[in-house]
Amino acid sequence: MSEAKKPLLHVENLKQYFKISRTFTTKAVDGISFDIYEGETYGLVGESGSGKSTTGRSIIRLYDPTDGKIIFDGRDISKKLSKEDASYLRTNMQMIFQDPMACLNPRKKVKEIIAQGLEIHHVCSSQKEVDEKVYAILEKVGLSKEQATRFPSQFSGGQRQRVGIARALVMNPKLVIADECISALDVSIQAQVVNLMKDLQEELGTTYLFIAHDLSMVKYISDRIGIMHLGHIVETGTTDEIFTNPIHPYTKSLLSAIPHPNPIVEKNRVAITYDKEKEGVDYTKGVQHKLTDTHIVLATDEEFARWTK
């Protein structure tokens, strides 16, 4: 299905290094490649420090990538941005963050916060049009007109995340990068917010890069998943491929960490541990091995033969 379509986002051998000192560099993202197709959700999963946020921030160009290619909607955005490309990026790619309180200006009313992007980028021709867009998106995320004149501190965590979603979606972006946007919420609220995001995606056709370390929620929202570890995508596939036929030992360990809802099964769940050093895996030596058009594993020939035996 997906190979006939053109990707909305094409990432090729992306590297994002941080020079910590004269002798030390953190390779936060170390040569990752993946595509995201229009209208789909790509889940990026991995433990803390694996480079997920750096990937998102690099793509939206909060950083200058060290190396590699980022093609967004046919435009190369990996090098110095032209004024036109920068403006295209600022309107068509939006980010939703983990902690909305940290990124919502506490002194501004919700209405003003949501309108900000529209105003900065002169998306509307009149104040009336701005107001209309703001009220329309508020309604879509389930907030009332009355709530629009309140301040972020007067909202619950789940409501604030709705404001974050409204602020991103009011721009009618092609791609939304959601970085752990539900991790700080109660589990019941997480499901609500994920459902809201899914509904809005269906209605607006938005594409999502959904970053998380909780595979269970990712399973529910993603069409395809990339498993990230120490700056590398070690395995990628459709959600079904990742859950029913995981190949990489790191993917298996992540899957084995998900608690099972059935207490009898849960009692017998064995968490698989994975130690890269012990197993002697060197990601820089691996190449992309294809199981299907969509299912790809990073491995040496020997590892691939062993893991698929």
Ligand X SMILES: Nc1ncnc2c1ncn2[C@@H]1O[C@H](COP(=O)(O)OP(=O)(O)OP(=O)(O)O)[C@@H](O)[C@H]1O
Q: How far is the CB of 52 from ligand X (least distance, A)?
A: 4
Under rule CB under 6 A, residue 51 binds ligand X:
yes
Q: How far is the CB of 47 from Mg ion (least distance, A)?
A: 10
Pairwise CA distance, residues 216 & 172, whole Å: 28
CA-to-CA dists, residue 144 to 77, 125, 134, 149, 163, angstroms: 37, 24, 11, 10, 11
> How many CB atoms neighbour CB 182 within 10 A?
25
Q: Which helix (H) or strand (E) holds 138?
A: helix 127-140
Pairing mode, if any, of strands 25-37 and 75-76?
unpaired
DSSP characters over 140-162? HTT--TTGGGS-GGGS-HHHHHH
Sites of contact with Mg ion (CB under 5 A): 53
User: Of residues 8, 9, 11, 28, which one binds ligand X by CB under 6 A?
Assistant: 28
Q: How far is the CB of 50 from ligand X (least distance, A)?
A: 4
Under rule CB under 6 A, residue 213 binds ligand X:
yes
Which entry of ligand X, Mg ion, none binds 50, CB below 5 to 8 A by partner kind? ligand X
| Number of residues in contact with ligand X under rule CB under 6 A | 12
Which entry of ligand X, Mg ion, none binds 140, CB below 5 to 8 A by partner kind? none
Pairwise CA distance, residues 93 & 51, whole Å: 19
Nearer to ligand X, 91 or 253 (CB): 253
Nearer to ligand X, 29 or 130 (CB): 29
User: Of residues 46, 164, 173, 286, which one binds ligand X by CB under 6 A?
Assistant: 46
Q: What is the CA radius of gyration of the chain?
A: 20
User: Of residues 2, 10, 15, 26, which one binds ligand X by CB under 6 A?
Assistant: 26
Under rule CB under 6 A, residue 106 binds ligand X:
no
Binding mask 161-200 for ligand X (x = CB under 6 A): ----------------------------------------
Which entry of Mg ion, ligand X, none binds 161, CB below 5 to 8 A by partner kind? none
User: Of residues 32, 52, 89, 239, which one binds ligand X by CB under 6 A?
Assistant: 52
CA-to-CA dists, residue 67 to 46, 55, 224, angstroms: 22, 12, 25
CA-to-CA dists, residue 238 to 30, 59, 222, angstroms: 23, 22, 8
Task: Provide the strand spans (E) within the chain.
Answer: 7-19, 25-37, 41-45, 67-72, 75-76, 93-96, 175-179, 207-212, 224-229, 232-238, 287-290, 296-299
Under rule CB under 6 A, residue 229 binds ligand X:
no
Nearer to ligand X, 184 or 189 (CB): 184
Nearer to ligand X, 26 or 116 (CB): 26
Angle, in degrees to the nearest 10, between helices 187-204 and 157-169:
20
Closest alpha carbon to 274 in 297, 249, 242 = 249
Binding mask 66-105 for ligand X (x = CB under 6 A): ----------------------------------------
Which entry of Mg ion, ligand X, none binds 49, CB below 5 to 8 A by partner kind? ligand X
Under rule CB under 6 A, residue 50 binds ligand X:
yes
Nearer to ligand X, 115 or 218 (CB): 218
Under rule CB under 6 A, residue 244 binds ligand X:
no
CA-to-CA dists, residue 213 to 10, 47, 145, 281, 293, angstroms: 23, 6, 34, 22, 25
Residues of this chain that interact with ligand X (CB under 6 A) are 18, 26, 28, 46, 48-54, 213
